[in-house]
Amino acid sequence: MTSVTAPTTPAPLPVVGGRYRPVLAMRRNLVGYVEDVWRRRGDVVRTVLGPPGFDREVWLLGHPDAAARVLSGSSAASFVKRDPVYTETGYWLGHGILTAEGEEWTRQKRFVQPVFTKQAVDGYADLMGEEIAAVVAEQDATGEDVVDLGAWMQRLTLRVVVRALFGAAEEDVVARVRRSFPVVADTVVRRGVGVLRLPPTVPTPRVVRGRRGRSELFGVCEEIIAARRASGATGGTDLLSRLLAARDGDAGLTDAEVRDQVLVFLLAGHETTATALTFALHLLGRHREVQDAVRAEARGALAVERPASAVAADLPMTRAVVEETMRLYPSAPFTSRLVVRDDTVMGHPVRPGVTVVLAPWNIHRHPEFWTDPLVFDPSRFAPGVPRRHRYAWMPFGGGPRACIGQHFALVEAVLALAHVLRERRVTSLLETDHVPVDSLITLFPTVPVRARLQRRP
């Protein structure tokens, strides 16, 4: 698919008109709408949303060259995280590293970067392996052979994050986050793509629900922090220890700053990996030969007692499955920016005030860069395969603002698949590789993704 000669607007529609119909379509299914527009209109598409005087111009971008322009190099300064979705995210989920900009982002990154170096993540790998093995054993103990993959993987990844990054292991945290996060995510996205946004102080039903969810999420984080302080434990190497010990000049981080960072990594650290694992197990449950190869690799890698980091490094086939799953089902299918100075995208002038939406969901399906893009084929990511365009695969974003926890996520996902499949066969109960999905901050299936587990000693 090639870019259009000029940004095009979908044809005007009767009654509601082109300014309103896209908003309604986005609310019905954001992923489906953006993919449909891309397939019909091309890699650079311009829309105008809302009534005159309150409207905003949005460009939908579906090409790796556009991603490179927006996310990297000197041009990245023209595109910042101040668009409506990020504004709503900051209000509802705190002002952590996800939404910070400029010097504040640099300051926050300085505090958290050491926790996510390869050396640091390798140090957490044994804890990851312990929690993964425990959650898998708990599932076996239930005696149930049919499992909801989404719920199971969310429980697993939350346990890993809470233990590895915050040194806690409360099951109560898992239940409360799973209950409250979807409510807040719905509030963020529905308000972020809305035409007329009332201030969040106006108690609409959605705002009231969002406040309750936010209060519970903040409460979870504050309790984790309070428990650590009450324990008197100091000098740890996990994220929470570093945040509590962090100094900025003569002052430490405020309680609100620590809470906001804990919340960012609590949510981002589990939701995205759980999504990838859910779809990976589903796809493996439909591709028996790939599953058998992963099982054989896992049995070999786990046969000898050794550090989990060494196990993860010895699972290239399993990692290829994770990366191909992230291509087909990127946990963050869209990322947006606000244009703050005149620039160009793929040769088209773009002015300040425009919101640009990059769509990894579309980029990962671009036939210019992927042969048979809708086919599950982990061999695309086998060792030795020539590199593609730098931004043809971007499940973790790109440029300086790429996900800081991507190595953590990949190690966790690879270890999880190895532990699950080592002694189990997974059979998906869905009859298609292509699960219907939508997005509220992160991708999610719109139908239950269930599978049958069978022990294979």
Residue numbers belonging to the annotated binding site for heme: 403
Q: Which of 268, 245, 243, 256 is nearest to 442 (CA)?
A: 268
The structure tokens listed for 320 are 């290829």
User: Strand 44-49 to strand 56-61: parallel, antiparallel, or no bridges (unpaired)?
Assistant: antiparallel
- Please report which residue ranges of 143-254 form alpha helices under DSSP H: 149-166, 171-192, 205-231, 239-245
- In the annotated binding site, the residues are 403
> Which DSSP string do the residues of 86-110 spell out, in sequence order?
HHHHHHHH-SSTTT--HHHHHHHHH
| β-sheet bridge partners, residue 61 | 44, 358
Say how far residue 326 (Cα) sits from the centre of its chain: 10
Residue 255, Cβ density class (10 Å: 0-12 exposed, 13-18 middle, ≥19 buried): middle
Q: CA-based angle 153:159:163, to the nearest 5?
A: 150
Contacts of 380 (CB under 8 A, 6+ apart): 320, 323, 324, 327, 370
The structure tokens listed for 3 are 């870019």
Give dist(CA 181, CA 178) in Å, integer. 6
Strand, coil or helix: 396: coil
